[in-house]
Amino acid sequence: MNSVQENKNELEAAVRYCESAISRAKATIESMEFRQQAAGKSWHEQTGREAALNDRLMIATKEVEELKSEVAELEQSEQDLKQANMGLVCDNDDLKDEIAELSVKQQKMEQTIQLQKEQIAMFQRKMSRLNEVDR
């Protein structure tokens, strides 16, 4: 059961990591979009730098698209990890149910063994009485 808990903890840590990465990527996207807007304004204001700003804009746009794709992948990974975590939680619950059932079976077996010991003791007492009568 420790391994299930460890797996659950690892999955939860991975989910937190994905959420953090998604947050950072979204912040980067916002920053890139801001830069993209700023670059667009500069382009209109400074005609001598048009080509350089166009290049920057294209790079920023490409980076934004790449980051959006990465965010989508991270969100999918997060969903996959959450589903895996739910599976582990269900497995953990199933194991707890099995342990409870096994505990009940163990108690019944212990009761049966105790009854058998008592019957053996009664039989031994009867045998010793019969041996005394035969002497």
In whole angstroms, give the CA distance from residue 114 to residue 90.
36
| Residues in contact with 60: Cβ distance below 8 Å, sequence separation at least 6, in sequence order | 32, 35, 36, 39
What percent helix, strand, coil does the chain show, rounded to 5? 100, 0, 0
**What is the CA angle 130-131-134, rounded to 5?**
85
Cβ within 8 Å of residue 70, ≥6 positions away: 25
% of the chain residues with pLDDT over 90 = 29
Q: What is the pLDDT of residue 1?
A: 58
* 3-class state of residue 1 by DSSP: coil
pLDDT, tens digit (0-9, with 9 covering 90-100), for 50-84: 777 788 889 999 999 998 999 999 899 889 888 88
Please say if the pLDDT value at position 119 is more than 90: yes
pTM equals 0.41
The pLDDT value recorded for residue 15 is: 84
Q: Are 56 and 40 in contact (CB under 8 A)?
A: no
Q: What is the pLDDT of residue 47?
A: 66
d(CA 102, CA 95): 10
Note whether 26 and 71 are within 8 A (CB): yes
- 19-59 pLDDT tens trace: 888 889 888 889 888 888 887 777 567 666 677 778 888 99
3-state secondary structure of 135: coil
